[in-house]
């Protein structure tokens, strides 16, 4: 009895699905453009974005230059967004702003194009080309619409993108340090600090500049050590001057003392 009920339920579902597909195919094959548009909009309103997308796709070329094209283009872009196809969504939102630059929806679509790039960007440990593109698009939007009601969200996405790029760059600098490439680590940490001077980790980056310089001096040939220990001391002075409350000062002072003692020893040996 139970098996028979399951079989009947399965058959009922198949019938429903087939009739649904059959109904959609009739709509899709219809030559009545206005009918197809009405049905596409109904699918969109019902959040059936897959079917709406298919119909809009077929309608896009035939409805170009008509009075319904702008609304169609707008909704077509959003179907990609709701289907989480952020690459296509960004493309169509951006194209909307180019086709309809004076539309009441142009600002929204420029914002959504940037948001899609942000959503498509991978986690920080992977290639960040798309994060760079997202950040550029978001900053461009912020510059064009500084008084927009969407600025709070735009700034949130900008901050998140910058944080992701900062973390990626800081991790690369850390890797150089961990594999004892101290000269490269120095350059990399300086670059992070230059690109993100307002970061909460700025004092850490400055400390790591000093630490990498100190380590580089330690492994250098004797003729270069005096100069390189002096560079580490200069980096310590920058840390102390710029971040007098830094939690890294205590460790930095120990390295400063060691660097100072090494310089005295080197200079005494050359007297």
pLDDT digits (tens, 9 = 90+) for 183-210: 999 999 999 999 999 999 999 999 999 9
Q: What is the mean pLDDT of the chain?
A: 88
The third-level CATH classification (topology) of the domain covering 180-271 is 1.25.40
| Band (268; pLDDT cuts 50, 70, 90) | confident
Q: pTM to 2 decimals?
A: 0.74
Domains of the chain by residue range: 180-271
Q: What is the mean pLDDT of residues 12-20?
A: 46
Q: Which of 144, 94, 142, 136 is nearest to 118 (CA)?
A: 136
Rounded distance, CA 95 to CA 93, Å?
Answer: 5
- Whether 172 shows a pLDDT value over 50: the answer reads yes
pLDDT of residue 223: 87
Average pLDDT over residues 81-99: 96
Q: Which of 44, 77, 79, 73 is nearest to 59 (CA)?
A: 73
């Amino acid at each position: 009895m139970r098996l028979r009920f399951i079989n009947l339920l399965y058959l009922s579902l198949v019938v429903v699905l087939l009739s649904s597909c059959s109904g959609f195919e009739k709509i899709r094959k219809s030559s009545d453009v206005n009918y197809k548009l009405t049905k596409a909009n109904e699918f969109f309103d019902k959040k059936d974005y897959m079917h709406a997308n298919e119909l809009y796709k077929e309608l896009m070329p035939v409805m170009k230059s008509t009075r319904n094209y702008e609304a169609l283009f707008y909704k077509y872009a959003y179907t990609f967004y709701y289907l989480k196809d952020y690459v296509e969504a960004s493309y169509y939102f951006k194209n909307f702003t180019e086709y309809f630059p004076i539309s009441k929806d142009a600002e929204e679509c420029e914002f959504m194009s940037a948001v899609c790039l942000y959503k498509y960007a991978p986690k920080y440990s992977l290639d960040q080309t798309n994060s760079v593109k997202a950040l550029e698009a978001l900053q461009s939007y912020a510059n064009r619409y500084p008084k927009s009601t969407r600025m709070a969200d735009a700034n949130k996405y900008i901050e998140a993108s910058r944080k992701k790029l900062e973390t990626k760059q800081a991790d690369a600098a850390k890797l150089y340090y961990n594999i004892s490439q101290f000269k490269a680590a120095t350059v990399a940490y300086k670059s992070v600090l230059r690109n993100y001077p307002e970061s909460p980790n700025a004092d850490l980056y400055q400390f790591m500049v000093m630490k990498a310089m100190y380590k580089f001096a330690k492994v250098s040939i004797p003729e270069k050590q005096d100069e390189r220990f002096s560079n580490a001391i200069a980096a310590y002075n920058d840390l102390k001057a710029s971040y007098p409350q830094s939690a890294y000062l205590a460790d930095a002072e120990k390295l400063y003392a060691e660097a100072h003692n090494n310089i005295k020893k080197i200079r005494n040996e050359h007297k």
